[in-house]
Each structure stands twice: as C-alpha cells, then as structure tokens.
Amino acid sequence: MKIVELDGYAANPGDLSYSAFEELGEFVVYPRTAPDEVVERAKDADIILVNKVIIDENVINSLPKLKYIGVMATGYNVVDLEAASRRGIVVTNIPAYSTASVAQMTFALILSITNRVDHYASKNRNGRWSYNQDFCYWDSPLHELMGKTIGIVGLGNIGMHVAAIAKDFGMDVFAYTSKNSADLPAGIQKTTLDGLFAVSDVLTLHCPLTEKTKNMINADTLAKMRDGAILINTGRGPLVDEYAVAQALHEGKLAGYGADVMNEEPPSADNPLFAEPNAFITPHIAWATVEARSRLLEIAAGNIKAFLDGKPVNVVNNILLR
C-alpha cells in the first residue's frame, strides 16, 4: 500500500512525527507539489493526502491505482467529489481538529484591537516607557469586553466555542444561525443577519463559504453595522469584500478588522488592508498550533487505518458513492 502526501509542509514542517503513517504502508511525503507534478508523483499511489493541492477530474482519471483521497483539512473543496465517487474512490476530511485553536485566535485578534498589545510592546522595545514621566502611558483607547455585544455568524463547533468564551468575558452573545432558538445554550440569543449587524460591538464570522455567503460583508452590510464596531474573520477570506472593509477602516466606520484568512493566499503586497493601521492580519495560522496539527495527523492516520480495515470514517462523499 503506497501512501503519498503531496503538500505536507504546512501541517508538518518537521516538528511532528509521521510514524503512524509509516506503519500503514510505504509512505512518501512532498513538502509542496505544483499542478504539473501531481500525476507523476501520485501515479503509483493507492492513497494520496492533500491540503491545498487540487485533485480534479483530470487528475483522478489519470491515477488508475488510486483508491482513497485524504484531505488534510476540514474543508474539502479541493477535490472533485463526483469524479472521485464515479471511480469508487473514498474521500475523507479532518473534522473539528482545530476548534479550540481557531476560537483562541478569534479572541487573540479581538484583544489585539481592544488592548493594543502589539502597539505597546513595539513602542517599549524602542524605549518609549523608559523615558515616560509617569508610571504608565497610553496613547490609544483601551476597552473592556465585559458588557459589550458579540455577534456570531454561524454556530458550528467553532462558533459555539467562541460563544462560550465570550460569555466568560461577560459579553452579551447574539447569533445568526440555522439552529432553532430552543436548541441554543442559555445565554445565546438568535437574531436575523440585519439584527446582528445592528447590535454587535464585535462581529465574528464562522460560517461556511457558499455562493450565498460570499462577500456577505460588503459596503451595504458594513453601513448597517454600529459605528466603531470590530469585525473578525477567521472563517474564509471571501466572506468579506476586502476593499469595502479597508474603506470602512479608513473612514473610521470600523474600529478594527482582525483576520486570519484573505481572499487570495498568499495575498498581494498591495492589498489595501495592509495600508490600514487598524487591520490586524495573521497568515492563516489559527489552525496551526502544535496541538491542533498533532490532532490533524492523528485523525488523518486514523482515517487511513479505518479505510484499510474496511470501515471508513469521516467520509465526505458517502452520499455520492455508488
């Protein structure tokens, strides 16, 4: 059984062990694979593992030995599920491995905006505090979260975790969700999307990217938000119109924008958000804690073992399988 991982560097640049995969068969890992290298590298593979490498119908039909595609992420839009199913190829993903890490990053971004930790740490490295006349200084507004309203778009695993943390901070929690109000935990109030825009001091996005949700944050919806609100996106980059967000920051409509995802990754150097001092952008690392990446590898190896045992789990194309 030959297992080939086509783009392993992001999940494991060398600090984690691949021993669980090596016990399952011949294991080959490539740090990165260009589109024109995919078929050649995977031609003898029974199993391939991918993160961002596109496995479309042409690739699938060029790999006659392929039996299994393991997506090393929760989202699996990199694989043509219908084409895989027509070939009887099982496709799996890694659900809920980074819930705690992404929720943690959500609040890291919120607190970066409300408490300006990076701003003051940077100034103090340059001696600012050392020549201050008083025992402390501040040159930007600082805010508590207690008593503020957080609006959460999407109450999946991550959205629920964010809600729990927000309640511990003493925030009022509102949500736009498909779940019934009666099924929500105490302390979460369901509202419409427009209602969420109207009440939120902090609006955070945790919904899937679909045709309906693409650019859901745009000039029109930003106009419905409170002046001075904070917007957070640790979901998917295209949920927001980045040019509209940059304009809202520039005009002061938004107090801050924190994002771990962007429309284009890596982003263009001239993206207008990079020119805004109140945009706090991290390079898609919310999922990348040591703990989350360790869980990812553990679940991925478990998915393969279950498949080899004839009892596949975390299958994302099971409805389509013939």
* Domains of the chain listed by start with CATH number: 2-97+290-308 (3.40.50.720), 99-281 (3.40.50.720)
DSSP 8-state code for residue 31: S
Q: Which two tokens stand for residue 125?
A: 């490295």
Q: Which two tokens stand for residue 182?
A: 């009666």
3-state secondary structure of 281: strand
Q: What's the gap between Cα 84 and its chain centre?
A: 25
Q: Which two tokens stand for residue 197?
A: 């825009």
For residue range 259-268, list pLDDT tens digits in order: 999 999 999 9
pTM of the entire structure?
0.94
3-state secondary structure of 238: helix
65, 46 Cβ separation under 8 angstroms: yes
Angle at 288 between CA 217 and CA 4, to 5 degrees: 110
In the chain, which residues have pLDDT < 50?
A: 320-322
Active site positions, annotated: 236, 265, 284
Name the one residue in this structure whose structure tokens are 């199913």: 85
3-state secondary structure of 258: strand
Q: 19-54: b or e for each residue (b if 16 or more CB lie within 10 Å)?
A: eebeeeeebbbbeebeeeebeebbeebbbbbbbebe
Name the one residue in this structure whose structure tokens are 């694989």: 79
Supply the mean pLDDT for the chain: 97
- How far apart CA 72 and CA 47 sit, in angstroms, is 13
- How far apart CA 261 and CA 176 sit, in angstroms, is 21
Q: Give the β-pairing of 47-50 and 26-29.
A: unpaired
